[in-house]
Amino acid sequence: MVFAGGRICAHCSHNLSRFFPRRPISLSSTPWQRRAFSQAQFRAAFTPPTPESLGKAVPAKDFKRTRKWLRRLAYLSLFGAAAYVIDRRYYASSLARCSRTFSLGLIVALDYKINFREDPWFAQDIGEVHARSATKLFHLLRTNGGLYLKIGQAIAMQSAILPPEFQKMFQKMFDDAPQNSWEDARQVIMEDFGGRTPEEVFGISFDGDPDAGVMEKKARASASVAQVHWARLKDGREVAIKIQKREIAQQVGWDLWAFKVVTRIYTWWFDIPLYTLVPYITERLLLECDFQNEADNSRRMAGFVRGEPRLRDRVYIPKVYDDLTTKRVMTAEWIEGVRLWDKDAITKPWKGGWRTGSPGSHGAPLDAAPTPVTTLQEKARVWDQEIKPDRTTWWKGEDGKGGLGLNLKEVMTTMVDLFSAQMFLWGYVHCDPHPGNIFVRRLPNGRSELVLIDHGLYINMSPSFRHQYSLFWKSLMTFDNKTLKEVVSDWGINNPEIFASATLMRPYEGGDHTVSNRIKGISEKERKKRQYEMQQAMRKGIKEILGDEKKWPQELIFIGRNMRIVQGNNQYLGSPVNRIKITGNWASRALAEDQNLSFAERWKYFGSHLIFKLVLLGSDLVFWYSKLRQAFGRGKGMDDDMEQQMRKMAKDYGIEMNHSVFEG
């Protein structure tokens, strides 16, 4: 840098000296000599070095391998993004759901394989392993939705025999599933009815047409695979339109395939014979997604009920409209009633007047709402508007404190009678009788009426198996151990005592107790220390029940589900009836009425049935003793007392049972 006065800074001078080194110049040199010398120095500074002075040459770096992996990464990212878009758009995220299932299934399996031991490597105890596995499984089922929710609810209904960590988590499986948008529901209707709009199919309108009907766009209920909308057709009929969620048709095949794969791997890895049950279970679940099959089940059950004098005036099955029903859309009669879980509404005093029943009782037409249909249509344009008329005011009273004025014992007796008749008389069993699928209404004569809906999941019992099952139940009630052992041996079951207790849902008192006595030899202190051995005993017990897989009747899976739910319903209502006695009575009666037997055999069973009725007096004494204890605050009811006994017995087998089936 040049300063005033022509001086150069020291730093710049130093840098210039690197390129223009100073050499002494004679004072006698002429100016042109000094200029030539300076130019020579300048040119020398920019003369390129010789090759010898540069040293050995280094080869250029090759980035070919790096570029190759970058290309692979780019292709993989592009492929992944394309697969995600295609899966989401055309397969309803089925591939993503399967990937989640396989990855989580592998993680849980490895966790148990490594840590299911007396002293887990990566957990404080086995309970911690159960807790984190239950959390992972619960979130998988809720995230995937659809059929996964069905599977989760099936697990929840049997949660009493699972570890407490699973019981606590799976209480939430009965929460309502999120509903699909009206646009999705509309699209399903158009796809199943050849492109016709809901307005054309059901004769409805949202534009103020006085000659048309009306429909709510927001679903009244939403479950795992379908949602239900209220509608009034143009002829005045009020209907429930059940619409399958649009993604289910694309997901069901993939979901069941993933279920099969995971179950097969777990069967092999943990040595529990589960996979042989899977084809039957998946077949039932597939049929449950076919609403035409559900309509057929509903019609068939309605025929059975009409033909049975002991039930026809106490049970009602809603009508199904075939012309408005397809594989994914089912239209049935709208049911006004009280859900089974609303005990107050069932039992509070009736305020609807003398000799009148609740709306729609036994198929009576529903009164039309006073609001003009055009007004309802205008309201229905808004998605979340509820336009169905409220018909509870007149029978609940102006203060809203009224009810159906019914007896819980009568309601529960009808329920146990219905499902016992399905098992022992008809061999056609509804396998999803949870409280949401049962309505209660009041008949004009003041008696109760049970309405059964959701007929998607049924099992059909062959005449021979139905006869065996009736004989099995009668043997349970009379402690006929010889017959009991013969029947369960035909079913391939190795331990009659365990299976009898599982069926009764109480300890079976008629066996030799060899298994339970062997395990009871362990002290309570030692039992707590040997949690691993106890749960190994549980697995062994399951294998003994399944026994010979080829002979084991697969219908027992869903029959057991039915009976467990009915038991839960009875407990929820306070155990007003002796469920075991009623079920056993129907089993004995069915043997005497079996038309497939000869007259002599039926007569023999009829005489046996009369003796059996006397035997049941003992069960009545137990029931009334339980009711007396309940009245004095010393017990909760017969089914609760039996479950307490069952818990004690289950504890001997390493199972920690809690009663929390319908909580949450």
CA dist., res. 557 & res. 559, Å (int)? 6
- Block residue for tokens 């329920």: 415
CA dist., res. 100 & res. 369, Å (int)? 49
Of 549, 556, 546, nearest in space to 459 by CA: 556
CA dist., res. 165 & res. 128, Å (int)? 8
Of 329, 337, 325, 338, nearest in space to 299 by CA: 325
- Spatial contact of 653 and 646, defined as CB atoms under 8 Å apart: no
- Give the burial string for 249-265 (b: 16+ CB within 10 Å, else e): bebbebbbebbeebbee
Domains for the chain: give ranges and CATH numbers. Answer: 87-175 (no CATH), 182-249+285-452 (3.30.200.20), 462-652 (no CATH)
- The CB density around residue 142, as the number of other CB atoms within 10 Å, is 15
The conformation of residue 90, written as its DSSP 8-state character, comes to H
CA dist., res. 193 & res. 185, Å (int)? 12
What pLDDT sits at residue 203? 95
The conformation of residue 119, written as its DSSP 8-state character, comes to S
Cβ neighbors of 91 (< 8 A, separation 6 or more) are 250, 251, 254
CA dihedral for 433, 241, 444, 401, sign (positive or negative): positive
Of 26, 18, 63, 23, nearest in space to 45 by CA: 18
Taking the chain (664 residues) in runs of 10, the rounded mean pLDDT of each run is 48 48 53 63 66 71 75 86 82 85 89 83 83 88 83 64 69 73 96 97 92 94 92 94 94 87 82 79 90 98 97 97 97 96 94 91 85 82 84 87 95 98 97 92 96 96 94 84 88 78 65 56 50 63 67 88 89 88 90 76 72 67 69 62 49 44 33
- Spatial contact of 300 and 315, defined as CB atoms under 8 Å apart: no
CA dist., res. 305 & res. 297, Å (int)? 12
β-strand 214-215 against 226-232: which pairing, if any? Answer: antiparallel
What pLDDT sits at residue 662? 34
Summarize pLDDT for 31-51 with one digit per residue, the tens.
666 666 666 666 665 677 777
What pLDDT sits at residue 89? 78
What pLDDT sits at residue 36? 63
pTM of the entire predicted model? 0.77
Distances (CA, A) of 267 to 149, 157, 432: 22, 22, 26
What pLDDT sits at residue 650? 45
CA dist., res. 388 & res. 403, Å (int)? 20
